[in-house]
Amino acid sequence: MIVQIMTVSLYCIVTVLVVYTVRHYAFTMNRLFGRNHQPYVDIGAANWPTVTVFVPAHNEEQVIGDMLENLLAVDYPAEKLTIVPINDRSDDATGAIIDSYAARCPGRIVPYHREKGPGGKAAALREVCRKFSSDIFLVFDADYLPGRGLIKQLVAPFFDPEVGAVMGRVVPHNLNGILLTRLLDLERAGGYQVDQQARMNLGLIPQYGGTVGGVRKSALKSVGGWRRYCLAEDTDITMRMVLHGWKVVYQNRSECYEEVPQNWKSRIRQIQRWARGHNQSMFRYTLPLLSKLGKLPTLMVLDGLLLLGVFMVPPLILTGWLLAMALFYSGVPVSHAVVVILGVTTWSTAGNFAAFFEVATAARLDGSYQRVLLLPFLSFGFLVSLMAVSWATLVQILTAPCAESPCWHKTERHRNGNGNGAHGNGSGHGKSGYAREMPR
């Protein structure tokens, strides 16, 4: 009886994993051969709306200067652009750096210093957004380096009155000799160049990623604003936008450069944070999304459910492996055991193959063929992610699925310092040659 239950469970897990494999494959084929849907990218001249760019920052002295320099150099009409760096109780030189820029560019840079209230990016955004009345809110993390034309590109979709949120493409720039950064570059390429664009092409749900993107103020208000205690305010706002009938748009052309983690510990912390936040949204929005069957396109709802469940896949894989091992020891007839275990390993192999196909395709579309040689090493990256996400999910399920964490969770910075996290030994001005040097 137990063996039958284990076998059926294993087949169910393999079925779910096959669905995700087919999804990966379908997205890649669509990206390769389908019609690319980028309807807003040609907008060059317009009566541009007012925009506020928020840059939440907690102990970002190493990078905030570069960010502000790049924002000051954008070609968006200055009278319609307000830059609001949000200093959320930093105990390094972030506040001083922001104030120095504000003094240099009064009116253009309006600093906001938070001294009290719940911590965290979502809480900071929620508090600050109420104080600004622009039509559009864009959000960038402090370590990003926007190009000169990026603001216009991100704002262009909002000329479509149905668009509630927009997301650009994130490209790592700190590709030094560290294997991890190169693996993350490959993953990002697969996720944006193929996955997000395919979802845009197919009319599914491209995800607003919390940075290099923005929301329409009226749309944000209609969905209830940023959720104060939220680890993944990006997934949260994406789902609420969709549930309220707003479009979420992805712009593959709108590239912005970020700093990816340079050591495995930072990477594990980052992916565990994403997993916990994403799972929070899964617990919260699965049923509301299901209730939209019939009201929203069916494929959009189904893909939305798969999107919500994406961080449950690693624990599912791990469970599948454990079941396979249990069946192996339970004395299931050899042929059956081989079939069952073959199912799991075939998924893990062909399934991973679909993910690798997506990543390799992205690299070819980017025109950088040599980095595909790193593909086998992605297996190691996946192994680390599998364990990290599974552990985070297990702890989350056992403690409190929707418990929210009112504090900052940020990735270690390495630019302009020696990567000592919150208290880097940088110049204190956070400015380096990166400012305005990145390709547009």
Partner 1 sequence: MSGRASIANTSAVSNPLSTLLPDMRRRGVRGGIIQKHRAFINFKISPAIFLFNILVLPLLWVGVLLLLLNPLFAAWNVFFEFMRGTLDLPGAVAVKTYEMLEAVSFNIPYLTVGAEWPDGRMWWTSAFVTAALLIVSFFLPNRFLPLAYFLRAMVGIQATSLVYFGFASGPFPYHLPEYMAGLLAAGCALLVMTPMLFGLTFYIFNIPWRKKLLLTGLVLAHLALLLPMQALLHAYIIHHASLMMMPVLFFVFGLLLDILVLMAFYSWGMSWPPAGDVDHDSPRRGPHP
Instruction: Residue 288: count other Cβ atoms within 10 Å of its Cβ.
Output: 12
Shorter beta-carbon distance to partner 1: residue 35 or 116: 35
Cβ atoms of residues 413 and 143 within 8 Å? yes
Are 97 and 65 within 8 A, CB to CB? yes
* Residues 22-51 close enough to bind partner 1 by CB under 8 A: 25, 31-36, 38, 41
Q: Is 306 in the site for partner 1 (CB under 8 A)?
A: no
Taking the least distance from each CB to partner 1, the nearer of 106 and 367 is 367
Are the beta carbons of 227 and 271 closer than 8 angstroms? no
Indicate the residue among 11 and 353 with the shorter CB distance to partner 1: 353
What three-state secondary structure class fits 205?
coil
Candidate residues 44, 294, 331, 439; the one interacting with partner 1 per rule CB under 8 A: 331
Q: Which residues between 78 and 107 bind partner 1 (CB under 8 A)?
A: none
Residue for token pair 């009064």: 106
Q: Pick the piece of the chain touching partner 1 (CB under 8 A) from 286-294, 374-382, 391-399, 428-436.
A: 374-382
Residue with smaller CB distance to partner 1, 337 or 422: 337
CA-to-CA separations, 231 to 170, 228, 401, 403, in angstroms, rounded: 19, 9, 12, 10
Binding to partner 1, residues 181-220 (CB under 8 A): 193, 197
CA distances from 151 to 52, 155, 225 (A): 10, 6, 22
Pairing of strands 145-146, 213-216: unpaired
Supply the minimum distance, in Å, between the C-beta of residue 258 and partner 1: 17
For partner 1, which is the closer residue by CB, 43 or 337?
A: 337
Determine which residue in the list 22, 73, 383, 400 makes contact with partner 1, applying CB under 8 A.
383
391 binds partner 1 (CB under 8 A): no
159: left (phi over 0), alpha (psi -120 to 50) or beta: alpha
**319 makes contact with partner 1 (CB under 8 A):** no
Kindly state the smallest distance separating residue 385's Cβ from partner 1, in Å. 10
Three-state SS sequence of 348-377: HHHHHHHHHHHHHHHHHHCCCCHHHHHHHH
CB proximity list for 429: less than 8 A, separation 6 or greater: 61, 65, 93, 97, 100
Q: Is 2 helix (H, G, I), strand (E, B) or coil?
A: helix
Q: How far is the CB of 230 from partner 1 (least distance, A)?
A: 29
Q: How far is the CB of 150 from partner 1 (least distance, A)?
A: 13
Give me the DSSP letters along 161-198.
TTEEEEEEEEEE----S-HHHHHHHHHHHIIIIIIIHH
Helix, strand, coil percentages for the chain (3-state, nearest 5): 55, 10, 35
Binding flag, residue 365, partner 1 (CB under 8 A): yes
Nearer to partner 1, 106 or 331 (CB): 331
Q: Does the protein bind partner 1 through residue 366 (CB under 8 A)?
A: yes
- Is the Cβ of residue 168 or residue 304 nearer to partner 1 in the bound state? 168
Q: Which is nearer to partner 1, 45 or 373 (CB)?
A: 373
Q: Taking each helix axis as running N to C, give the angle between helix 64-72 and helix 94-104, from 0 to 180 degrees, rounded to the nearest 10.
A: 20
Q: What number of chain residues touch partner 1 (CB under 8 A)?
A: 65
**Phi, psi for 283 (deg, rounded to 5):** -60, -35
Which x/- pattern, by CB under 8 A, does the window 243-282 give for partner 1? ---------xx-x-------xxx-----------------
With CB under 8 A as the contact rule, the residue among 381, 417, 424, 426 that binds partner 1 is 381
**What is the 8-class DSSP label of residue 408?**
-
Judged by CB under 8 A, the chain residues 334 through 363 that form the site for partner 1 are 334-335, 337-338, 341-342, 345-346, 348-350, 352-354, 356-357, 360, 363
Binding stretches for partner 1 (CB under 8 A): 25, 31-36, 38, 41, 169, 178-180, 193, 197, 252-253, 255, 263-265, 321, 324-325, 328-332, 334-335, 337-338, 341-342, 345-346, 348-350, 352-354, 356-357, 360, 363-367, 369-376, 379-381, 383-384, 387
